[in-house]
A = this chain, B = another copy of it.
Amino acid sequence: MKEFDLIGRYFANGGYQRKDVLVGIGDDCAITTLAENQQLAITTDTLVAGVHFLRDAPARSVAHKAVAVNLSDLAAMGAEPAWISLSLSMPQMDEVWLAEFAEGLHELTQYYSVQLIGGDTVTGPLAMTITAQGFIPPGSELKRSAARPGDWIYVTGTLGDAGAGLAILKGEVEAQSPERDILVNRHLYPTPRVAAGTALRRTANACIDISDGMLADLGHILKASGCGATVHVDRLPISRALYQHAGAKQAYELALTSGDDYELLFTVSEEQRGNLETSLASTNVKATCIGQVTGQTGKVDLKLYDEPYQPPEKTGYQHEF
């Protein structure tokens, strides 16, 4: 089967169509019209089988995750998603897998009103690169470098679930239902915090999405902002499922260090703190205050009920060469 037929059959039809896309899949480039008085946010993420997702992960989950991690990056900047391009590398043609992958991709893009505008398919190891683009009003971007000493540190949702789900899927730990399903689904089908990201434009200072683990991603903000932080481990938002499954001690460790939760971590000044609840009211997303930014550059104090807490050795993963 030829490359062009392949793209045509599975991706060109059935996806969300936006009015601002003049030329979509099938020409040398996509052509889009640009919203007035908006800036463009652009992000690229690659997922490789066996590195970023399990080789036997359902195709629908792989597509979901590939789109979600990119929308999550847009959300972390405060941008509203518009278009994605997909480059898909497959070792051989597998129509069943591809149909399920396309379905997962269309599902999520439909939900967020995002159009697939083009891409490439190549023969190679199973992997995919998505470039996502979105709009943001001038000056509203939530940069990593904008945290200030005194800012309060918040996270959306709950932490550690996806890490526990991965360990379960890898057979490293046993789990009972219904906790098993809840945690595994958090790993397979992460929710990008798109509405929360745009809602935080006026309220938050710095923002990042938690892909490497809370401590690692907080570290990126602190490094970019030249600050330190105090984090109260006992205030980390832990789901009932994770408590049930792992107990408090291991739940804290997962919440601190395991990746792929795709919650937002953001900082809010004392002055803006009162507006936070209103900002998030329409999004159905809960944010929890877990600590405060300090002026002690690069230093992170972990506390458990106000006593020093020894962090686990693993503080977030990076894809190393």
Contacts and interface: CB of A to CB of B under 8 A. Distances in A.
B28 A39 contact: no
A110 to B, nearest CB: 20
Given A28-B77, A87-B46, A123 B319 contact: yes
A30 B48 contact: no
A90 interface: yes
A293 to B, nearest CB: 17
A45 B120 contact: yes
A299 interface: no
A102 interface: no
Interface stretch (A125-133, A180-188, A237-245): A125-133
B77 A31 contact: yes
B1 A30 contact: no
Interface string A88-131: 01101100000000000000000000000111111111010101
A132 B33 CA distance: 16
Contacts of A129: 44, 46, 87, 120, 129
Contacts of A3: 318-321
Contacts of A209: 28
Interface in A10-52: 22-23, 26-34, 38-46, 48, 51-52
B42 A83 contact: yes
Given A34-B39, A42-B85, A123 B321 contact: yes
Given A28-B209, A33-B39, A320-B3, A89 B122 contact: no
Interface of A: 1-4, 6, 22-23, 26-34, 38-46, 48, 51-52, 73-74, 76-77, 79, 83, 85-87, 89-90, 92-93, 117-125, 127, 129, 131, 133-134, 136, 138, 141, 143-145, 207-209, 220, 224, 318-321
